[in-house]
Structure 1
Amino acid sequence: MHTPIVDHNGQTIAVLGSPVVFDTLIAAISGDFSDIDSTHIYIFDRDGTALFSPTYDPLPLDTNLRERVSEVETRQDHVIKTPNEVQYIIGNAEIESLGWGVIIEQPLSDVLRPTLRVRNSAIVIILIISTVGLLGGFYFVNRLTQPLRELVPAAYALGEGHFDTPKPKAEAGTEVGILVEAFSNMRSAIRSRENALRQSEAILREERGQLALRVKERTHDLELANSELAEAVKSRDEFVSTMSHELRTPLNIILGLSEALARGVYQPIPVQQKKVVENIISSGETLLSMVENVLNLAKAQSGELVARREQVNLTELCGDIVNNYKVIGAKKSISLKYDETKCSDIFVQIDRIQVKQILKELLSNAVKFTDEGGQIGVEVRQDRVEKMVRIIVWDTGIGIEADALDLIFKPFQQLDTRLAREHGGTGLGLALAKQFALLNGGDISAESIPNHGSRFTLTLPVSSRSANRQKTKNGHIMVDEKHSTILLAEDNELGAQTFTDYLEFYGYLVIPARNGLEVLAFVEQEIPDLILMDVQMPKMDGLECMRRLRAQSSTATVPIIALTGMAMHKDEQQCLAAGANEYLSKPISLRLLQERIEVYLGGKNDKTLPKKHEFHE
């Protein structure tokens, strides 16, 4: 190695030289390399000419190492690949004092060998640690989950009702141990409850069996009781029906004969005797009213009470009843106030007979419980919005206590036995009036102040007026002037004679028959205009006779009015089903019977009735 020495003019005056031992320099440079044999060290001057290169890699003489450095510096990884496909990592440095450059090439594998060694060691250590961790974790997890795995089949067994499975083993005090202990306690509690439940079920089964036995016994008792009750109801109905017939038949004769006597059918009677006959009629009607009330109560209790509704003019209905009770009230100096204009042109769809009985009951009580000189009244008020009419019957009588108002509509209720003895009565009238009002789509209520009087309000639905009303003359129904033949089927001779005398007096031709066979024999010879048919007759009863009459074309349309002392609803249904046009229960008002006959025979009687025999509809 040499260096020129120049003067102050820059002229070289001498050259200073010194020998350089490259082995020592190379040893100094490669001291940090572990594998010097595979490391290439190049030293070059300012021109890039190689001053030193490995003996095993001599460079061509035209090699410029600075160009090689420039090529390496353009690569970010400083890695080059030799022709024999070996990768080298290259680094370079400058020896500024000498103007030399140094290039060091080392195989990439040698550079990475320590790192790979550390990596491999780390991998081995990680694998060892992981293996030890997995083995430890498996041990601890197995130790932790073993009781849980034993707990699962125990839980399934518990769900199936098995309580004797072994208790899972678990370390006390740990979470799993606490869980296993809680499961064991729960299983014991469930076992206790299960045992208690089984005992309860056993007791319940026993009690259920006893209950079923008791129910069977009670059901049998109830069936017997129902059977006995049905038998009792049947016996009661038969008794009521029989008693009704047995009472009505003589009553029919008594009232019929009395009415015929009073009207002078047989001969005119003196005034004194006429009063006696009128008393007989009054007493008979009172008895008839009691029989009717008992019978209607039996019908109501058996559900056979029905309403036969028709369109009725309220003026006509109230007028007849009010006029009658004006006369009755006058006997006690009781005045009756009534304004008939308030109910003009009001029509109601009702059962005429039932509503008449309601009004009669209310007016009868008003007269009965009002002292002499008192007042009673009838008011009619129409509610056009609700389409209802209210008929109010009031009095200034003794009144009713407030706590007794609910009792008066119950059967057989007498508020004061002293009053019952003084005024009479069975306690059925208002109870039946209530039933009649409900059957006709209305109701009846009461209000009263003791010692001041009472007000009873009957409410009924209003109907539209019918144009097809029967024409009458001055409010009277007149018997027509043509002849009429009536076939009377009645086995009771006295009853038959009563009907015959009355009807013949008014110009009818009455043909008697004592049973159904005689009726059938008569119609073979002559067809009557109307048949009055008793039901209970010997040889052939009225029901069978009517069926046979309706089966014949010649008598299929002949009007038949059934007359019977059997007054139950089923009796009426049987009569109508057998072919009767109408049903009348005994005792029958002869006047009413004549009215019903004229409905069917209008225009056939040849006898004009005298003026005194005209009667209101």
Structure 2
Amino acid sequence: MPWVIPGIDSNGQHLLELINDLLDLAKIESGKMELHIGAVSLQKLCNSSLMFVRNQAHHKNIKLTSQVTERLWEIEVDERRIRQVLINLLSNAVKFTPTGGRVILKAEEDLLRNTICFSVIDTGIGIAKENMPKLFQSFVQIDSRLSRRYAGTGLGLALVQRTIEIHGGRVDVESEVGKGSCFRVTLPIKQSGEANGEYQSDLGDLSQFTQSGISNPQVLIIEDSITAAEVISRYIREIGLQTLTYPEGEGALEQVIQVNPGVIILDLQLPKVSGWKVLAQLKAHPQTQHIPVMILSVVDERSQALEMGASEYLVKPVSRKLLRSTISKILGRLETPESPNHAESALVVMPPTAPESPLILIAEDNETNIKTIWDYLLSKGYRLILAKNGWEAISQAKEYHPQLIMMDIQMPDMDGIEAIKRIRDNQETSKIPIIAVTALAMPGDKEKCLGAGADEYISKPVSLKNLVSTIQKYVHVEVKDLQLVSN
């Protein structure tokens, strides 16, 4: 009786979920739940939570979007527990939202209260006012008529509330029957490394810095994005260094000469005068050529920057931990600035002729896909730049004129279809070949992508070999030998 097997599997999964929820709730109620607090990428946390419900949303034709603040790159939480909270709220939102509805995940920083607020907003069936008190009770569904239609353990929201409470936060709900609900999770923002240990090692490097021959222990940040500059500045000030921000490439050399900083953090995408030109100016001028320069950019062109004299190269968004360790590494070299050691622990495969190889723009928001595709194409000799939503893809296409664009269709803020249309409408970018890539391919998807202006269509999971074959229809790179460059 093969028809029995799916039922056994479904019931088994339901029982396993119930047991796990019971164990977690019992731990919390007994005070034995241990939190493993650590620095977590806010964008990664939101993206990974959304990934768990994408398939469910796709089958109901529910539009799933996210709006994540750029002012806060990291938060200090128990990553697994908070992801569990977000997945629970998102699953409920998708479950109780009719076909064709919308679910939004927002993450916003409140600077005045020093909190981060996650909001899950849906256009679902809503919750009656008299049922609100039952929401966070264990083993309770607010309406018995829904229990058969919408299966669940009755423990989800109870777990959500208690998990957030032991993080020092709170959960709030607003809802209207027939219009939808908004669940808000508010957590205190804890500064990374606040619990003593992590800062002490960095401050040890700071003492080495202040004892060296540098006259001004100050970090000059040359960055035109106010948001990015504020985040970088905050991370650096946390380890006791002073910061100063200059917002453009024009006049940057004169500013460096005037300030004479100990370290320079330089963005490449600056208005009027690019970061590349500023770097060349700094390394050519006798008064500035000795000052260490750290490049911080969305574009991964590390080897070229190091050849031009940069001390380190990091790709945005960068974690607080990586930025601190890189600053510490630079400070440790200041007593011997001639040291050629630019090595880090990781290795990246780079083509020896990277500047001449074709440039590909990858528009993709899933970190796992980015890592897999990025490493493979890099090993094949291509230069790469990254965009994580449609707006970034349009901007990168205009600025860098890549030889090809690989466009994911399901991205936050602006989807790939709309981005393709706008790229085709712009005279500067209208001729760039575009490969559309999408998961959960449905009938008609291919026609939509090609109709929007894509040249090729590939459905996920992507065969890397087939991807390269498709790319080679439009651009080609011959790489006889690859070299390992420390990164």
Task: Give the TM-score taking structure 2 as reference length.
Answer: 0.38
Higher Rg of the two aligned structures:
1
User: Which structure has more helix as a fraction of its residues?
Assistant: 1
